[in-house]
Amino acid sequence: MEYILKLLTNMFFLFSVLVLSGCAHQISLNPDTEKLQLSENKSISVVGYYISEDDIKKQVKTPGGGGDNVSYKPYKDTEAALYTVLSNKFENVYKLESLTDNTFLQDNKIEYVFIPTITTESSSDSLFTWPPTVFTFTLNCKTLNNNGDIAWNTEVKGFGKAEFDEFKNDFSLSAKRATEEAFNKLVVELEQSKL
């Protein structure tokens, strides 16, 4: 009897490990755009931004807790935040489908084009829950002028932390805190720029 019980316990443990570990859980990085700071020094320039189709579709997996991963689309999830920050600062913002469409750039009087590059890291100190407790979001923004030269370049980093009691209603909380901090830092960088 004891042997059977032990066998059943081991089988259950093995099943749990196989079923519950190594999964990729979907989260969203999009911060609440209402929480992004407004620009005080507005610019009269019209700008555009370019994110390639491959980047928009890019799905990234980074570690969560308990041996699981989290999965998300960093460019797609934060596109609205980038658009919001740029439209709070500049007169008008366009999403560019191509970097080489000079007619579109000239017709819309676009002076600067922003090209974002995003890198992310995540981790969790929990053995039992999968949402990340720590998230880092790094945003590099290269800005080209009319001649295609680099007019401005900046890198901002946001850190987000969330504990179980906080993230039980939003599994993406640490990630959203990280993106909110990074985009608010971008607002400050833009304020200090000469664009």
Q: Which residues bind another protein (CB under 8 A)?
A: 19-20, 23, 25-28, 30, 32-33, 77, 79-80, 83-84, 87, 94-95, 127-130, 164, 168-172
Give me the least distance between CB of 22 and another protein, in Å please: 11
Cα separation, 57 vs 187, in Å, equals 26
CB of 71 to another protein, least distance (A): 9
Residue closer to another protein by CB (options 39, 129) is 129
Cα separation values, 90 from 40, 77, 195, Å? 11, 22, 9
Between 8 and 150, whose beta carbon lies closer to another protein?
8
Q: How far is the CB of 79 from another protein (least distance, A)?
A: 5
Two structure tokens written together for 190: 């833009």
Q: Which is nearer to another protein, 13 or 164 (CB)?
A: 164
94 or 112: CB nearest another protein:
94
Residue 27 or 195 with smaller CB distance to another protein:
27
* Angstrom distance (rounded) from CA 11 to CA 18: 10
For the chain, how many residues are written? 195
Look up residue 89 and give its amino acid. K
Closest CA to 24 of 65, 61, 57, 56: 61
**Separation between Cα atoms, residue 128 and residue 12, nearest integer Å:** 16
CB 23, CB 69: distance < 8 Å = yes
Smallest gap from Cβ 166 to another protein, in A, equals 14
> Cβ of residue 105: shortest distance to another protein, in angstroms?
15
